Amino acid sequence: MAGDSLGKLFKITNWGESHGPAIGAVIEGCPAGLELSEADIQPALDRRKPGQSKIVTQRKEADQVQILSGVIDGKTTGTAISLMIQNQDQKSKDYSNLKELFRPSHGDYTYHAKYGIRDVAGGGRTSARVTATSVAAGAIASKLLEQNYGMKITAWVETVGELVANIEPTSVTRDQVEANILRCPDADKAQEMIDHIAAIRKQGDSIGGIIGCCIQPVPTGLGEPIFDKLEADLAKAMMSINASKGFEIGSGFAGTTMRGSVHNDPFVMEQGDVKTTTNYSGGVQAGISNGMPINFKVAFKPVATILQKQQTVTTSGENTEYQARGRHDPCVLPRAVPIVEAMAALVLCDHMLRYRAYQS
């Protein structure tokens, strides 16, 4: 009944807690013979780790990954790959005042109500800390996708609050994304967004926004209707990320305001391949990829932990006030960019292997 695993053929199981000795992941189904070392994984973790800029939490974690199994002489063996990251900068005393109350909009109350017990320090399994190993696993999936199929996954910050960047999804490059600490490829808008986050942080508050993502090139045929449609699995993966509150692919909710005569993507033959002249479908039709770039967006709420007093209740059912302390992100977006990429890679890798099973 546990929900710690994702995928069918390329399967990841995530384990560990925010303030435990370590966190990790086990990957099953990675094909044998892929050249792999910690150096292939570490860059993705460095993009996600805390303490990397003034607009993220200042918790210091090296996030150094160790490959414990599944690799011999620098190549995958086809058996389970086990990854581990040691936790180093735990400050559990920062959470000692939480034992008798529930933080607003956190998992404290729901975990307590479901299990009758919860990990107070850092939120345990509810902490975004546990996404580090999903990013590590996603780095392996990304290497497999790019090396074997030429597929690249690029995510970026598209909005912060009401501030919206001007972005053409299929043209965004990793260099543009990494050009600033926010990871927004619109250089002019990025600084305004950074300043906005910094101002909100000084107020002891937080803010959310939207991350966009583009996957290309994508072959036709990925997706397993009806319950494992490609966009359904992408939605599940994205909605498993901490603080995510919305997913849309292609035209998304904006498509509800359009007419079919505009929204339909006309087919054309282009150099012997079937293409569409528009991409309101976001690269997926009837749950199966149609060969066009996959475009989707993920909405993230404001971080729940803020440094202002809030109304809550105690574990004994009494009304009280709570004010957070410790180290927290005022905006999750910059560190969520590599998480979105990783989760997309895990889904696409799984579906690519499932698709290959149909080939003679």
Q: Is the pLDDT of residue 275 over 80?
A: yes
For residues 234 and 114, give the distance between their C-alpha atoms in angstroms, rounded to a whole number. Answer: 27
Contact 224, 347 (CB under 8 A): no
Q: Is the pLDDT of residue 360 over 70?
A: no
For residues 265 and 261, give the distance between their C-alpha atoms in angstroms, rounded to a whole number. Answer: 9
With 0-12 / 13-18 / 19 or more C-beta atoms within 10 angstroms meaning exposed / middle / buried, residue 54 is exposed
Residue 122 is predicted with a pLDDT of 74
- Rounded to a whole number of angstroms, the CA Rg of the chain reads 21
Cβ neighbour number for residue 257 with a 10 Å cutoff: 9
Q: Is the pLDDT of residue 140 over 90?
A: yes
Of residues 146 and 326, the one with the higher pLDDT is 146
For residues 61 and 86, give the distance between their C-alpha atoms in angstroms, rounded to a whole number. Answer: 9
For residues 352 and 354, give the distance between their C-alpha atoms in angstroms, rounded to a whole number. Answer: 5
Tell me which of 53-57, 164-168, 182-186, 224-228 is least confident. 53-57
What is the tally of structural domains in the chain?
A: 1
- Residue 12 Cα distances to 5, 38, 273, 345, angstroms: 5, 17, 34, 12
Q: Which long-range contacts (CB under 8 A, 24 or more apart) does 108-116 make?
A: 112/315
* CB contact set of 91 (below 8 Å; sequence gap of 6+): 59, 326, 327
Nearest Cα to Cα of residue 133 among 268, 25, 266, 271:
25
Report the percentage of the chain scoring pLDDT > 70.
94
Q: Give the residue numbers spanning the domain of 264.
A: 5-356
Q: Is the pLDDT of residue 43 over 90?
A: yes
3-state secondary structure of 74: coil
Q: Provide the phi-psi class of 271: left if phi over 0, else alpha when psi is between -120 and 50, else beta.
A: left
Q: Is the pLDDT of residue 184 over 80?
A: yes
Q: Is the pLDDT of residue 29 over 90?
A: yes
Band of pLDDT at residue 99, cut at 50, 70 and 90: confident
> Which residues, in sequence order, are bridge partners of residue 154?
214
> Which residues, in sequence order, are bridge partners of residue 267?
276
For residues 23 and 101, give the distance between their C-alpha atoms in angstroms, rounded to a whole number. Answer: 26
Band of pLDDT at residue 97, cut at 50, 70 and 90: confident
Q: What is the CATH number of the domain that holds 216?
A: 3.60.150.10
* CB contact set of 178 (below 8 Å; sequence gap of 6+): 47
For residues 221 and 354, give the distance between their C-alpha atoms in angstroms, rounded to a whole number. Answer: 10
Nearest Cα to Cα of residue 50 among 19, 89, 93:
89
Band of pLDDT at residue 224, cut at 50, 70 and 90: very high
Tens digit of each residue's pLDDT (9 = 90 or more) over 8-27: 999 999 999 988 899 999 99
Residue 358 is predicted with a pLDDT of 84
Return the H-helix or E-strand segment holding 274. Answer: strand 273-276
For residues 231 and 134, give the distance between their C-alpha atoms in angstroms, rounded to a whole number. Answer: 19
Average pLDDT in the chain: 93
Tell me which of 57-66, 113-122, 173-182, 249-258 is least confident. 57-66
Tell me the average pLDDT across 64-72.
97
Tell me the average pLDDT across 104-115.
92
Tokens of 275: 């293409």
Tens digit of each residue's pLDDT (9 = 90 or more) over 308-322: 999 999 999 999 999
Tell me the average pLDDT across 131-156.
97
Residue 60 is predicted with a pLDDT of 66
Residue 340 is predicted with a pLDDT of 98
Tens digit of each residue's pLDDT (9 = 90 or more) over 228-262: 999 999 999 999 999 999 999 999 999 999 999 99
Residue 93 is predicted with a pLDDT of 58
For residues 76 and 232, give the distance between their C-alpha atoms in angstroms, rounded to a whole number. Answer: 29
Cβ neighbour number for residue 319 with a 10 Å cutoff: 8
Q: Which residue has the tokens 């440094």?
A: 307
Q: Is the pLDDT of residue 344 over 80?
A: yes
Answer whether 0.75 is exceeded by the pTM. yes
